Amino acid sequence: MSVTIDDNRLIQKGTIHRQIDLPFEIEASLSATEDGNIRVHADKIRAGHIPVKGLLHFLGDDLAKLVKHNAERGMKIVGDDIILIPRTLTPPPHLEGRVTRVSIAGGKIIQFFDSGRHTAALSPPFRSAAYIYHRGGILQFGKLTMHDADLEIVGDRPGVFEFFQREYQKQLVAGYSKNTPANGLVAHMVDYSRFRPPRAYLDQPRNQR
C-alpha cells in the first residue's frame, strides 16, 4: 500500500487480495480521536476507479471487513475509519502522548500532542533550525534515566536533521553530549545520512558489492 498527500487530503492506494486482486484507492481526511489517537476517515473508496463506498454499505460491509488490521502494530479499523495509534506505530523506543489535533500542511502530516498541563513556551538551550527537544516527564535512553527531562537532540548538518528512531544509538555514539547550566543535556548526534552507503554502491548488483 502507498500513501501520498494531495492538498489537504490523504490518498491511499493498494491491492486487496481476495478471490481476485482488487486495486483500491481511498481518499481520506484526518482528525484526532477522543482518546488521543489519529482518525483517518475514508471519505471516498474506489476500486478500479469505480466508487464502492455506498455499495459496501448497501451490502452490509465496511472497510473493517475488507482490510486486516492489528492494534498492537499501531492500526485498527472501525467502520470506515482507520485509527492510527502513535505509541505503537513506530519501533522502540516508543513515544507516549495524546494527540489533540492533526492536520496536513505543506505536504506533511502535523501532529499536536498535549498532556493537559499547559506550561510556558519551551526555550531549547541550543539554537538550531532542526532539533528534537524533550522537556518534563521521565525519559529513558540506554541505561540512563532522566527525571524532569531536559534533553535537546541536534544533528551535525545545518538546517536539516535526519533522525532514525530505531537506529538512534549509532547516531548517539558517533556524536557527543554537553551538560547545560540548568542540569539539562544537549546531545549532538551524527546525521543518519552519514551511515548510508553511497548511491553508486546501492545501485550495484549484490554479487558485486
What φ, ψ does residue 86 adopt, rounded to 5°?
A: -55, -35
Quickly count: other Cβ atoms within 10 Å of residue 150's Cβ: 20
DSSP 110-133: EEEE--S---PPP--SS--SSEEE
Show the cell assigned to 174: 558517533
**Rounded CA gap, 11 and 204, in Å?**
33
Residue 51 near residue 44 (C-beta atoms within 8 A): yes
pLDDT of residue 4: 86
Rounded CA Rg of the chain:
21
The candidate with the shortest Cα–Cα distance to 78, out of 102, 32, 132, 42, is 42
Q: 192 falls in which pLDDT band (50, 70, 90)?
A: very high
pTM value is: 0.49
Q: 209 falls in which pLDDT band (50, 70, 90)?
A: very low
Q: Is the peptide bond prior to 93 cis by the omega test (within 30 degrees of 0)?
A: yes
